[in-house]
Chain A
């Protein structure tokens, strides 16, 4: 019986910690000089989900209603960093976050000094978090989107976006 209680408490701790990573990074850098920050809360996502027209063009003549997907988002954190040393510091912090093993690399692009990496966390059916980090000579961009997104829906959206010539 004691084991069950201990597991329940540990589970609570794990749930609490799992969605904290993007927020911790956001909180640490959002007030730093030379950093633009954007946060969208779960409550705001609910309001966005009520916007009647959330159709976006995802391919030639093909539209998609993003409202159902947006309603599964629970937090969006974005940092746009102009200061190179702050950007390097953030990159180290993201690397440390990734090394914990929760996130797996979805895609990495290295082109002429620019690096783009996309990571996802979750399981076979659900994506709980997407982290996007882009480093260029003139800045670093960090985005973290938390939620309970259907993995197959997100992957098919990515495939459509990748095959489009927009």
Chain B
């Protein structure tokens, strides 16, 4: 019996000769068997993909609902007021950053002075 690779390597003329050879008997249920073997894994794949999609959808819905339930209420209805509050927050953060940078610069100056004293 020829393997699939042997059949793939056969020339077109050879294939045509085989197809015209009436001594070769084709099993009656060959077509049915081919169809069955083609449809079985495909059905399984569709089923598995459907199940996976359902799980992901349910998980997504679950997380979405949980997030929606604990979503706090907006403090402001007016975007201008919300932005004003945000500006205040940025100003507080900026003060913290500036304070940190100025302290780092002061420390750097002390380090430079100390280094110069030791190096003299």
Q: List chain A positions with a Cβ less than 8 A from chain B.
A: 1, 4-5, 8-9, 12-13, 15-16, 20, 23-24, 26-27, 30, 37-41, 43-44, 47-48, 50-51, 54, 56, 70, 76-78, 107-109, 111, 116, 118, 132, 134, 141, 143, 158, 161-164, 166
Give the CA-CA distance A16 to B67 in the complex, in Å: 8
CB distance from B72 to the nearest CB of A (A): 4
Cβ-defined contact, B66 with A116, below 8 A = no
CB distance from B37 to the nearest CB of A (A): 20
Cβ-defined contact, A48 with B82, below 8 A = yes
Q: Assess A158 versus B97: contact at CB under 8 Å? Given A27-B70, A27-B72.
A: yes
Give the CA-CA distance A94 to B59 in the complex, in Å: 28
Q: Which residues of B contact A13 (CB under 8 A)?
A: 59, 63
Give the CA-CA distance A74 to B106 in the complex, in Å: 37
Give the CA-CA distance A116 to B76 in the complex, in Å: 27
Cβ-defined contact, A78 with B83, below 8 A = no
CB distance from B73 to the nearest CB of A (A): 7
B48 contacts the other chain (CB 8 A): yes
* Extra A-B contacts (5), CB below 8 Å, given A158-B97, A162-B98: A16-B63, A40-B82, A109-B100, A116-B100, A162-B101
**Interface residue total, chain B, C-beta cutoff 8 A:** 35
Give the CA-CA distance A96 to B58 in the complex, in Å: 30
Q: Assess A134 versus B71: contact at CB under 8 Å? Given A47-B79, A161-B97.
A: no
Cβ-defined contact, B89 with A44, below 8 A = no
Sample 27 A-B pairs with CB under 8 A, ordered by A number.
A1-B48, A9-B55, A9-B56, A12-B60, A12-B63, A13-B59, A16-B63, A16-B67, A23-B70, A24-B70, A27-B70, A39-B74, A40-B76, A40-B85, A41-B72, A44-B79, A48-B82, A51-B79, A70-B86, A107-B97, A109-B100, A111-B99, A116-B100, A143-B92, A158-B97, A161-B94, A163-B101
